[in-house]
Amino acid sequence: MKIKYPLGIQTFSKIINRELLYIDKTAIIYDLIDQGSAYFLSRPRRFGKSLLVSTLESLFSGHKALFEGLYIADTDYDFAEYPVISLEFSRVDVRQGDDLAQYIINTTNRYARNWEISLEIEAYEQRFEELLIKLYEKTGQEIVLLVDEYDKPILDNLFNDKIDGIKQVMNRFYATLKSMDRYLRFTFITGVSKFAKISVFSGMNHLSDISMNADYATLCGITQEELESHFGLAVDELAKKEQLDRLQILAKIKHWYNGYRFHHSAISVYNPFSLLSLLQRKEFNNYWFTTATPTFLLDLLQNKQYELKNLSDVNVGIAAFDASNPHDMDIQSLFVQTGYLTIKSYTAPRYQLGFPNYEVKKSFFDSVAARYAQISPGAGQNYTYELTEAIQTDNLDTFFKILKIFFANIPYDITLQHEKYYQSLFYALFKLIGLTIEAEVRTNEGRIDCVVQNDNTIYIIEFKLNGTKEQALQQINDKNYALKYQGSDKKIVLLGVEFDKDSRNIGEYIVIDCL
């Protein structure tokens, strides 16, 4: 029977009632409820957090019929009905603290009307507190509180001068919830990132953070076993279309979309949105990234002049997975929490991080190149294809001609003195081309600006910001940069490149084959 995919649907009851595909996660959910009552879970966007919250809402609302045939229906779970309050911060556009306070008031009023409760207090946090108390008194039941995407108001306003007002509203709201613990049966809060100095963590210290807990590492996402057991027919159809056998198509799917690991001992998982999109459309593409473009990450990279080479072969301690301060955010930590870096391996006490898969890596560098060069992503991709063909055929004239297009659009107020900006764009472009690129390569006599390799050639490149192409080439020779690569069977080419201060672009270059 043809699979009906739940793309774009995050409501558990709709998925079940419409007989759409649901990967049964209720064994883990049962354990979650059995082992505790207050949790926080951080996962990247489009990773199934909202569906998980909706599943919890149906479960605590006592809708037992929806769970027939699922693991939890055969357990001792009693499906008791509790009052459920759900806050979905992904639904509101917050630009200042008053917007967030008004959303809390509107949500409070809606639940008060539904339960025919009269509220008297005006202040948003006290009004919500009043709702909880009166709802508890009216029903005689503890309340289930579900908060989805708690951090969206912050991530949307990282560089907005109103962010302190937004933080203040959040602080007061979550501080109120801490005192309401005796009225709450179950609390579950999700987000993309973990922020310190916000009361959801510092105030509500009874929350159990399961973001890096091995027992819940596959609570969101799809495992390899789940892929092969639930999507056999779809995989076979995709294999036929791609003219690959089953093992080959599974390997290609894994290369593109698997790789997220939320504990060093846990198995990796697929981003569900990307995987379902692939199997429904039968076309390999960048699905997740187009729905979760990391505008705030790109802003952060530019504002901090972050060197992109630091995202390769990252080694961090456990602190990289902890909460961060919105005013002084650790970029590597944020990249982990938002899903652009993940655990690749672990050698105590260090974690080795990397891009989870091809989709994320290529999409990220596509976005960086387009942003830094101030061109459209579509145009950037076309130019990238031309760059790839030029460098693979050692056509340097064409390569530099296209490369100049990227640099030509950089805004005038970003001058050549901001060298890291140019280096980041150059690095992103070579990553997109799919070549091996090393930046600032150490030798016993100095550091090479850039080493790039294709199938046949090693290019040793030196840039001169305030100098000539001859001076750049002379530095390569004087410091014997090529010596490190003499044992390779590839052709070695030396490139001295100058930046033209007047045009603020790549100027002349000189090419010498290393003999």
Segment 425-461, tens digit of pLDDT:
777 887 777 767 776 666 655 666 788 888 888 998 8
Mean pLDDT of 399-407: 86
- For the domain spanning 374-513, the CATH number is 3.40.1350
Average pLDDT over residues 126-153: 96
User: Quick one: DSSP state of residue 267?
Assistant: P
Q: How many CA atoms lie within 13 A of 452 on its CB side?
A: 24
Residues 361, 368: Cα–Cα separation, whole Å:
11
Place of tokens 């917050």: 94
399, 502 Cβ separation under 8 angstroms: no
Question: Average pLDDT, stretch 146-169?
Answer: 89
Least confident of 77-91, 329-343, 430-444, 493-507: 430-444
Closest to 39 in 3D by CA, of 269, 215, 222: 215
Contact between 132 and 183 under an 8 Å Cβ cutoff? The reply is yes
Residue of 20, 17, 16 lying closest to 2 (CA atoms) = 20
> In this prediction, what percent of the chain has a pLDDT beyond 90?
51
User: Does residue 442 or residue 252 have the better pLDDT?
Assistant: 252
Q: Which is higher by pLDDT, 366 or 73?
A: 73
Lowest mean pLDDT among 135-144, 217-226, 261-270, 464-473: 464-473
* Helices of type H across 22-81: 26-35, 49-60
Cβ burial of 513 (10 Å; 0-12, 13-18, 19+) is: exposed
User: What's the confidence (pLDDT) of residue 89?
Assistant: 92
Q: How many CB atoms lie within 10 A of CB 230?
A: 17
CA proximity to 286, closest of 386, 340, 360? 360
pLDDT of amino acid 322: 73
Other beta carbons less than 10 A from residue 372's beta carbon: 26
Looking at every residue in the chain, the average pLDDT score rounds to: 87
What's phi and psi for 96, nearest 5 deg? -155, 170
**Interval 296-315 mean pLDDT:** 78
pTM (predicted TM-score)? 0.86
Question: pLDDT tens digits, residue range 66-109?
Answer: 999 999 999 999 999 999 999 999 888 999 999 999 999 999 99
- Structure-block tokens of residue 237: 């159809």
pLDDT in tens, 3-33: 899 988 999 999 999 999 999 999 999 999 9
- Domain over 12-214 is classified CATH 2.120.10: no
- With tokens 């060069």, the residue in question is 373
Distance CA 167, CA 404 (A): 43
CB 103 within 8 A of CB 151: no
Q: Is the pLDDT of residue 416 over 50?
A: no
Each residue's pLDDT tens digit, 161-212? 898 899 899 989 988 888 898 999 999 999 988 776 565 666 666 789 999 9
With contact defined as beta carbons under 8 Å apart, do 196 and 324 qualify? yes
Domain ranges for the chain: 12-214, 374-513
pLDDT digits (tens, 9 = 90+) for 275-290: 999 999 999 998 876 6
pLDDT, position 203: 62
**Greater pLDDT, 150 or 155:** 150
Whole-angstrom Cα distance, residue 483 to residue 443?
Answer: 9
**With 0-12 CB in 10 A as exposed, 13-18 as middle and 19+ as buried, what is 256?**
buried
- What is the pLDDT at residue 441? 65
